[in-house]
Structure 1
Amino acid sequence: MERSGSGAMAAVLQAAKRALRAELKRRLRELSPAEKLRQSLLLGAQVVEHSKYRASHRIAVFLSMPDEVQTAEIIKDIFQQGKECFIPQYKQRSNHMDMVKLASYEEIASLPVTSWNIHQPAEDDAREDALGVPGYDPGV
């Protein structure tokens, strides 16, 4: 495919992504908080019963924002099962993200809050990074 064609294809793809994101945001706004919680609990139950989850000893998970799937129950289960939990640590003014070790579920409340209102360790908080240690398997 020639360059101008690939540029047009990229523009079409970007427009489709924007439209899809807008549609998803619209649908999320229509869901009640109770329905969002119900669906989050159902999804969380499916995650913790999955064979890959059960076989894993080190799990990376995001700390959810209000309009996202709520991950609190999954994180609680990680610690109850004696697994290691890793959460995102974003670098300011960068696209870089590490997945750093969380000591306990209760620790989340003590973490600083970002401008996106997400708890995460401070940038100078040195922690084990799941992406930089032996045993990391992105396919699990």
Structure 2
Amino acid sequence: MSATSLPEQKKVLRARLRRLRREVAATRGEELAARAHAHLLASPLWRQARSVALYVSLPDELDTAPLLDAAWQAGKTLYLPRVRQQYGLMDFVAVGGRDELRPGPFQLLEPLDSLPGFGPDAAGAAFRPDIFIVPGLAFDRQGRRLGFGGGYYDRFLSGVRAQGGDAGPRPFVGLCFHCQLQDALPAEPWDERMTHICTDREWLCL
């Protein structure tokens, strides 16, 4: 077993994967994102979903803008995250178009403050999207996710799983460039796992 602690392993991985992601996004980002979009949009999970929890991508992430447009054009209810930085939490907000977004923390566009949001405690009742599409610096073939270090998604998705009820868990889809898909990632007990991974090369059901 490595003497390096899990937090230190994650720190090193995050630095390496950020560099790799920036390089790929700058050189082939648009082409590879289009391939990943095709895999996701062709999947039964997306086609059958009436509501989708998505996110607005960072400049060097796999671009999600075409997915936002696809959801709106198909008449799906689209939920986007809004960070509550002072509490270390986030909520999800039903957004009807880009005019309902404004600049938020972490260089992200977020739903307007005036719009009602749902926390994980609402999962299974008022808030139950048919599919969650989740960002990450990396994913592995067992569904593990390496996030950005803030814990926002792990806390939220843990609450969603806890509120799953009789209807069972929701599909959690990790979306990334294929270079971000690893054979194995260091994991801690609170790290939430994906049920599917979507890259520019593969659609994995786990």
Give the TM-score, by structure 2 length: 0.55
Q: Is 1:31 matched with 2:58?
A: no
1:22 is matched with: 15
- SS of the aligned residue for 1:31 comes to helix
2:82 is matched with: 89
Query: Which segments of 5 or more consecutive residues in structure 1 lack a partner in the other structure?
Result: 1-7
- SS of the aligned residue for 2:86 comes to coil
Equivalenced residues, count: 128
2:99 is matched with: 107
Structure 1 runs, 4 residues or longer, greater than 3 Å off: 134-138
Q: What per-residue deviation string (whole Å, max 9, x for no partner) do you get for residues 93-137 of structure 1? A: 222111110012x325xx2212422111243x1325385215445
Describe the shift of the 1:21–1:135 C-alpha distance in structure 2 as closer, same or farther (beyond 3 A). Answer: closer
Q: Percent identity?
A: 23
Describe the shift of the 1:28–1:37 C-alpha distance in structure 2 as closer, same or farther (beyond 3 A). Answer: same
In 1: Cα distance, 2:118 partner to 2:5 partner: 37
Query: Which segments of 5 or more consecutive residues in structure 2 lack a partner in the other structure?
Result: 131-168, 172-206
1:58 is matched with: 51
| Mapped contact 2:93–2:118 kept (Cα < 8 A) | yes
Could you say which structure has the larger radius of gyration? 1
Give the TM-score, by structure 1 length: 0.78
Q: Is 1:126 matched with 2:115?
A: yes
Code of the aligned partner of 2:115:
A
- SS of the aligned residue for 1:103 comes to coil
Q: Which has the higher helix share?
A: 1
2:66 is matched with: 73
1:3 is matched with: none
Q: Which has the higher strand share?
A: 2
In 2: Cα distance, 1:94 partner to 1:40 partner: 33
| Mapped contact 1:101–1:130 kept (Cα < 8 A) | no
Deviation at 1:92, TM superposition (A): 2.7
Code of the aligned partner of 1:52:
L
